Amino acid sequence: MERDVARLAEGKAHELARRDVLTGLPNRRGFMERTGRMLEGLPVSGALVALLLIDVDWFKSINDVYGHEAGDHVQAAMGRCIARHENSSCAVCRLGGEEFAMMVTGAEVGNIEQFAQTLRGTLADLSHGDIIGNRMVTVSIGVTASASRADFGTLYRLADEALYDAKRGGRDQIAIRLGEWAGARRNDRPLFA
């Protein structure tokens, strides 16, 4: 019985080490483990995989004006919204600070773009009124996708570049840096949606 209790405690500690305390989402470590398995399970070509990096716009000003408790409230609310999308083909996480990530497999190219736009709008529509009044909180999203077996480092680099494109483009928008979309040549040109 002691061995079973120890195994349960070890399993719980293992899970807690892979979860973000504030949002309940997987943390970077948990996300990397899950996305690694997702990428390994993809066929060599033909399966679309997309990475979305989501960053809360002007987050430092929320902490500065309303306090860190308000910032925590905003992040937790966004985490709950993002958590709804977690399933066998979508991994989610809080990367750290005000940045979240999602990896999606098996979707169509147009669906990924629409999904990112819908997610951006849903996150902007969250009400934080009891904490920060009528201030709207928006996000910028960097998106990339590949139709061949991609390595996480390449996906992350392209999504991160796209995120910076969205920030430079005025925030509260998505930007896409294309990898290998449906067999097309890679194109590092930013596209705004």
The residues that are catalytic are 98
Beta strand 99-105 with 90-96 is: antiparallel
Q: Give me the count of residues in the chain.
A: 193
What is the C-alpha separation between 46 and 151, in angstroms, rounded? Answer: 15
Contact between residue 70 and residue 63 where contact means Cβ atoms under 8 Å apart: yes
At 118, which helix (H) or strand (E)? helix 109-124
CA dihedral sign of residues 89, 105, 52, 172: negative
CB 148: neighbour CB atoms within 10 A? 17
Cβ burial, residue 137 (10 Å; 0-12/13-18/19+): buried
Cβ burial, residue 35 (10 Å; 0-12/13-18/19+): buried
